[in-house]
Amino acid sequence: MKKNTLKIMSAVIIIVIFTSIAILVKGSQGGVLFDEKIMESVHANTNSTITIIMKGITFLGSSLFFIGFGIVLVFLFVKNKYYEGIIPLFLSTLGTYGVNAILKNIFVRVRPLKYFLIEQGGYSFPSGHSMVSMSFYTTMTYLFLKSRDKRTNDLLIWILNFLLIGLIGFSRIYLGVHWPTDVLSGYIMGFLMYIIIITIYERQTK
């Protein structure tokens, strides 16, 4: 009961925060809240070496990467007869991409064009890289830890999970293709997707 209550409270908080940011974004032609200050600060310290690194990190949150990695995971799940992991895998990628596409077309936010270090099409809010990365990596980390016999170093694995997600989000800001509020909103909606996915998974495996 406590676990379900926590999930519901988390979902409510996420929806309230997202809605608050979305209201500001919907009527804006540029940055909102802390967007401009963060973008100016980050882009005052760019250089070619960091840009190359950020391009590599951003690839880990791209659709191309998730397609390749997803195919590998499906193969491993089937090989190990872990069929219950397939639904969370698809929901955390294709499902989250679908929700993200709907949100982008509702809010039609223009990207921060003057900060572009790479070319990027489509709308800006919320960040697809951040949303799918949060949903996918967190779901896969949950499934990995749940399938292990030993429970050592769980905290370290969770820290590494969120560190990777954080770096992917930061790479989008650094490369100038997303406002910070795009990334923040992508994170919280990705976490909402994670809550929904693990709830479905836990009911499926009872």
Q: What is the pLDDT of residue 7?
A: 83
Q: Report yes or no: 165 and 112 within 8 Å, Cβ to Cβ.
A: no
Distances (CA, A) of 186 to 61, 77, 130: 12, 27, 5
pLDDT, residue 1, reads 56
Q: How far is CA 87 from the centre of its chain?
A: 18
Task: Specify the pLDDT at position 27.
Answer: 74
136 CB neighbour count, 10 Å cutoff: 28
CA dihedral 139, 142, 148, 152 (to 10 degrees): 140
Sequence-distant (6+) residues with CB within 8 A of 89 are: 70, 73, 74, 77, 139, 140
Calculate helix-pair angle for 2-26, 180-204, nearest 10 degrees. 150
Instruction: Give the C-alpha separation, 160 to 168, whole Å.
Output: 12
Candidates 59, 121, 129, 122; CA nearest to 93 is 129
Cα R_g (the chain), whole angstroms: 18
Q: Which of 150, 140, 147 lies closest to 81 in space, CA to CA?
A: 147
Q: pLDDT by residue for the chain (206 residues), tens digit each?
A: 577 788 888 889 999 999 999 999 987 788 888 999 999 999 998 999 999 999 999 999 999 999 999 999 999 999 988 889 999 999 999 999 999 999 999 999 999 999 999 999 899 999 999 999 999 999 999 999 988 777 668 899 999 999 999 999 999 999 999 999 999 999 999 999 999 999 999 888 87
**Contact yes or no for 124/186 (Cβ under 8 A):** no
Exposed, middle or buried, 39 (CB in 10 Å: 0-12/13-18/19+)?
buried
pLDDT given at position 76: 93
DSSP 129-177: HHHHHHHHHHHHHHHHHHH-S--TTHHHHHHHHHHHHHHHHHHHHHTTS
Give the helix, strand, coil percentages of the chain, each rounded to 5: 75, 0, 25
